[in-house]
């Protein structure tokens, strides 16, 4: 009997887990699922890539299977809100294999797709709706959806719901939801505003925290390259040339910068594409699909992809520009070292970005050294001279490649494969003394 079975999940769900090759729950799943099955509200905090999607979806699916009857026309039984289209699609991809032995259906609504088709789909009634807040409000305004029957609400990446006006959207959506209901908030970071948000939406919640908020995954080998802004392009090409077939995600601060960088790389023969807010949903989906398949090896993106890409084969994240919001750093580098694997994150820092780096350092509680005198005494690698940022790709002097690595399945759920054991050998921390602790499965 597997640990998933001991959690008391319905046989239809454990059967789906077995078919997906998911054997043991991750820490966030093992701790959150029993409380959620009892009907408690949940505030879940865990690093990216640790299986938060199944932590909220499995108990929700279990409780939905116990409820009789089909959803009425235009009604919704369970609502999952996420900040980006990519994340909505990722969540749905995780949920669908888990409901295939049940009568439940999973539906998505996001911007950039036919609203008429979404209206027709909603007219039949929905068991589980995964949506972006903006498009859901559009559908509410058209009278296409009735949220008064919602008995389960999930806010995934809840901290980002505070950004870009999402909090105002939530204030419009929440009063329309059914009562009583179970609400679950999940995030990898915990800004102060999230505390007040959780108080507004959660009733006597169970707080499940498997790592300090803002803590980066242990399996991510982090380094910073200090250089003038004009030298960033040359440094990026030098790093990419060292291992051209590895899947590499490059983050740009702006949409125009991401597109310009992608065009330059393509012109130089690099298999690159881009994902940002100026691309249509179809273009974004095709780029991510090609990146997942390996036909595109470099994906240049804005923070729209910081939480919406779950591809276990991503070996490297390069922060070409440091993010304006320090929490975004945690989510960006969480695109690698997923599902029990290790990975490498390299950040470029120009002189004008030093304040941004200091904010990141305060959040993740570590410092990066440079010739200007950053104190990295707690993390300097034994024998390595201070002030010499390490930026070669791979580790231990040997290039790493995404090819040949075991690939996880079902997105975030891939963290459970093989009993949660890492898919590759553990490495010593590049900037920390001693051996990194195993990544949370």
Q: What is the mean pLDDT of residues 366-373?
A: 70
Lowest mean pLDDT among 172-176, 247-251, 270-274, 280-284: 280-284
Whether residue 180 has a cis bond before it, omega within 30° of 0 = yes
Question: What's the pLDDT band for 310 if we cut at 50, 70, 90?
Answer: confident
- Are 203 and 226 within one domain? no
- Are 302 and 187 within one domain? no
Give residue 153's domain range: 3-209
Q: How many domains does the chain have?
A: 2
Residue 125, domain CATH: 3.40.50.300
Sort 114 into a burial class: Cβ within 10 Å, 0-12 / 13-18 / 19+. Answer: exposed
For residue 254, tell me if it sits in a domain: yes
Instruction: Tell me the three-class secondary structure of 341-366, residue by residue.
Output: CCEEEEEEECHHHHHHHHHHHHHHCC
- Are 108 and 30 within one domain? yes
For residue 427, tell me if it sits in a domain: no
What pLDDT, on the 0 to 100 scale, is given for residue 326?
87
Question: What's the pLDDT band for 390 if we cut at 50, 70, 90?
Answer: very low
- Are 201 and 226 within one domain? no
Ramachandran bin of 306, using left for φ above 0, alpha for ψ from -120 to 50, beta for the remaining angles: alpha
- Are 160 and 230 within one domain? no
- Are 201 and 239 within one domain? no
What pLDDT, on the 0 to 100 scale, is given for residue 188?
75
Domain boundary among the residues 209, 239, 264 is at: 209
- Are 226 and 247 within one domain? yes
Residue 189 reports pLDDT greater than 90:
no
- Are 22 and 82 within one domain? yes
Lowest mean pLDDT among 73-77, 167-171, 295-299, 417-421: 417-421
For residue 425, tell me if it sits in a domain: no
Task: Tell me the pLDDT tens digit for each residue of 313-339.
Answer: 898 999 999 999 888 898 888 888 766
Task: Tell me the pLDDT tens digit for each residue of 18-74.
Answer: 999 888 898 999 999 999 999 999 999 887 667 889 999 999 999 999 998 899 999
What pLDDT, on the 0 to 100 scale, is given for residue 212?
57
Radius of gyration for the chain, computed over Cα atoms and rounded to the nearest angstrom: 21
What pLDDT, on the 0 to 100 scale, is given for residue 151?
96
Give the integer Cα–Cα distance in Å for 326 and 414.
27
Residue 361 reports pLDDT greater than 90:
yes
Give the integer Cα–Cα distance in Å for 49 and 64.
25
Q: Which of 251, 308, 242, 246 is nearest to 274 (CA)?
A: 251
- Are 271 and 197 within one domain? no
- Are 204 and 225 within one domain? no
pTM score, whole prediction = 0.64
Question: What's the pLDDT band for 112 if we cut at 50, 70, 90?
Answer: confident
For residue 49, tell me if it sits in a domain: yes
């Amino acid at each position: 009997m597997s640990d998933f079975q001991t959690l008391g999940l319905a046989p239809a769900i454990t059967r789906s887990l077995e078919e997906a090759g998911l054997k043991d729950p991750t820490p966030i799943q093992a701790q959150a699922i029993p409380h959620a099955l009892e009907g408690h509200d949940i505030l879940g905090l865990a690093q990216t890539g640790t299986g938060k999607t199944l932590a909220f979806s499995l108990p929700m699916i279990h409780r939905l299977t116990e409820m009789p009857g089909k959803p009425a026309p235009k009604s919704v039984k369970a609502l999952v809100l996420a900040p980006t289209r990519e994340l909505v699609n990722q969540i749905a991809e995780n949920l669908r294999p888990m409901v295939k032995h049940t009568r439940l259906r999973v539906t998505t609504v996001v911007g950039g797709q036919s609203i008429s088709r979404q209206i027709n789909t909603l007219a039949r009634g929905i068991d589980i709706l995964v949506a972006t807040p903006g498009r859901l409000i559009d559908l509410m305004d058209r009278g296409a959806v009735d949220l008064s029957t919602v008995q389960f609400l999930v806010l995934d990446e809840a901290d980002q719901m505070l950004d870009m006006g999402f909090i105002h959207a939530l204030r419009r959506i929440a009063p329309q939801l059914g009562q009583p209901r179970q609400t679950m908030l999940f995030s990898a970071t915990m800004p102060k505003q999230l505390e007040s948000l959780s108080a507004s939406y959660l009733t006597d919640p169970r707080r499940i925290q498997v790592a300090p908020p803002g803590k980066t995954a242990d399996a991510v080998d982090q380094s910073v390259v200090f250089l003038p802004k004009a030298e960033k392009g040359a440094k990026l090409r030098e790093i990419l040339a060292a291992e051209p077939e590895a899947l590499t995600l490059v983050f740009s601060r702006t949409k125009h910068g991401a597109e310009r960088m992608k065009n330059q790389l393509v012109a130089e023969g690099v298999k690159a594409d881009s994902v940002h807010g100026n691309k249509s949903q179809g273009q974004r989906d095709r780029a991510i699909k090609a990146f997942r398949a390996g036909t595109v090896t470099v994906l240049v993106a804005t923070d729209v992809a910081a939480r919406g890409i779950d591809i276990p084969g991503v070996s490297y994240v390069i922060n070409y520009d440091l993010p304006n919001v320090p929490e975004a750093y945690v989510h960006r580098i969480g695109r690698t070292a997923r599902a029990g694997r290790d990975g490498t994150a390299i950040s470029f820092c120009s002189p004008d970005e030093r304040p941004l780096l200091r904010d990141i350092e305060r959040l993740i509680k570590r410092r990066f050294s440079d010739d200007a005198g950053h104190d990295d005494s707690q993390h300097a690698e034994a024998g390595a001279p201070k002030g010499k940022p390490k930026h070669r790709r791979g580790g231990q002097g040997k290039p790493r490649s995404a090819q040949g690595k075991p690939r996880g399945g079902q997105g975030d759920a891939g963290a459970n494969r093989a009993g949660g054991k890492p898919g590759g050998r553990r490495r010593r921390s590049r900037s920390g003394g001693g051996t990194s602790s195993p990544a949370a499965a």
